Amino acid sequence: MRRAPLVPLLLLAACAEPDVPLPWSAPPEQPLDLRVTVRPLHVALLQPITVTLDRYRADGVEVSFQPVVEDERFVTDRITKAEERAFGDGWVQRTELVLLPVAGPGELQVPAFAAETVVAAGEEPQVATTDEVTITVDSALQGEHGAGIEAPGGPFAARTNWWLWGGGAAALLLAGAALARWFARRRRAPDDPLTVAVPAHVRALRELQRWRGAPRGTPAEVAAFYVGVSQVLRVYLEERFGLHAPERTTEEFLRDLESADTLARAHRAELERFLQQCDLVKFAAVVPGEEEHQRTFELAEAFIESTRADRIEREAATARPSEVPA
């Protein structure tokens, strides 16, 4: 059997259509053009968005184009630039940026981009620009953290008039289920996986460890660090004490705290200092030093450790006086 030549197959693969089609059905009339596509337009905090920039230049035209986002509300995760390819009498090049929104919830604008022709001194260059693109950023609870919150089970079924028969059948079922569990325990191998509910403090401490090693070399990375650590603590407060911290501003949260659990109120000063430090970074563009980063991280970690449910229960059991028989 004859095999197909390798070169034509490679050429076909190189000519395959990209995931995002070109924004032009025919080469533009102007010597320079720039188009932008942003996907998706609705994301959660720190969820990546892809900005696709397609730049066209006529043959013989030299272009200056630096696709950089200097907006502190975004962290640039990756920039990929493809090779130029022929398009009509000119050339097309695609650049993709993966951005992480670190501000929200609410609407954010992906900044405009610009490219211009390179001309001799004294000549006027031609400039091609894109429009700003608006995206909507939701609370992180609707993404990764929200997926971990389980809804309660349904209500108990209403009793029927056949309560005697139902009671007898339920007793038999319970006895059978107990017997089946007993046999299952005896047969279960030591390495059988068991489903165990993960306590709120365990999830929170794991998330904090992920942020401990996060880069903090630029203002945008510092903002991402404070947003991330603050979100971990807010989600923990909701799961541990039922406070709607992720959806509240700092002022609203501190007001709600007055009617919260006694244990949570006892740590009001620590929480206020922590949240105000995060707000300064997020809204006032304050860039603290590494010592302040570490202090903020340790404050969040210490609060979680001191309020974890298992420790409170253990301390309460230790403090309870032992019962002495009469």
Q: How far apart are the first and last CA of the chain?
A: 98
**Which pLDDT score, from 0 to 100, does residue 303 have?**
84
% pLDDT > 70, the chain: 75
Does some domain include residue 175?
no
Q: What does the pLDDT read at residue 105?
A: 86
pLDDT at 102 (0 to 100): 87
Same domain, yes or no: 130 and 213: no
Residues 116 and 225 in one domain: no
Single-letter residue type at 161? N
Write the DSSP symbol of residue 41. S
Judge if 134 and 20 occupy the same domain: yes
pLDDT at 59 over 80: yes
Domain final residue pick, 88, 120, 138: 138
Q: Averaging pLDDT over each range in 33-37, 174-178, 198-202, which range is the top one?
A: 33-37
Max alpha carbon distance in the chain (Å)? 105
Q: Is the pLDDT of residue 55 over 50?
A: yes
- Note the pLDDT tens digit of each residue in 106-135: 899 999 999 999 988 888 888 999 999 999
Question: What are the φ/ψ torsions at residue 80 (nearest 5 degrees)?
Answer: -125, 125
Residue 180 or residue 260, greater confidence = 180
Of 99, 116, 138, which marks where a domain is finished?
Answer: 138
Can you tell me the mean pLDDT for 285-305?
83
Report yes or no on 110 lying in a domain: yes
- CATH number of the domain within which 105 lies: 2.60.40.10
The pLDDT score that the predictor gives to residue 254 is: 73
Tell me, yes or no, whether 22 and 118 share the same domain: yes
Return the pLDDT at 194: 52
Cα separation values, 280 from 212, 219, 226, 275, Å: 20, 12, 10, 9
Binning pLDDT at 50, 70 and 90, where does residue 291 land?
Answer: confident
**Among 117, 138, 159, residue at a domain's last position:** 138
State the DSSP string of 103-131: S-SEEEEEPP-EEEE---TTSPPPEEE--
72: which DSSP letter? Answer: T
Count the domains in the chain: 2
* Residue 87, domain extent: 16-138
On whether the CB atoms of residues 222 and 281 are closer than 8 A, the answer is yes
Q: Structure tokens of 303? A: 């609060």
Q: Which residue has the tokens 């970074």?
A: 281
% of the chain residues with pLDDT over 90: 25
**Position with higher pLDDT, 148 vs 227:** 227
pLDDT in tens, 72-108: 889 998 999 999 999 999 999 999 999 999 887 889 9
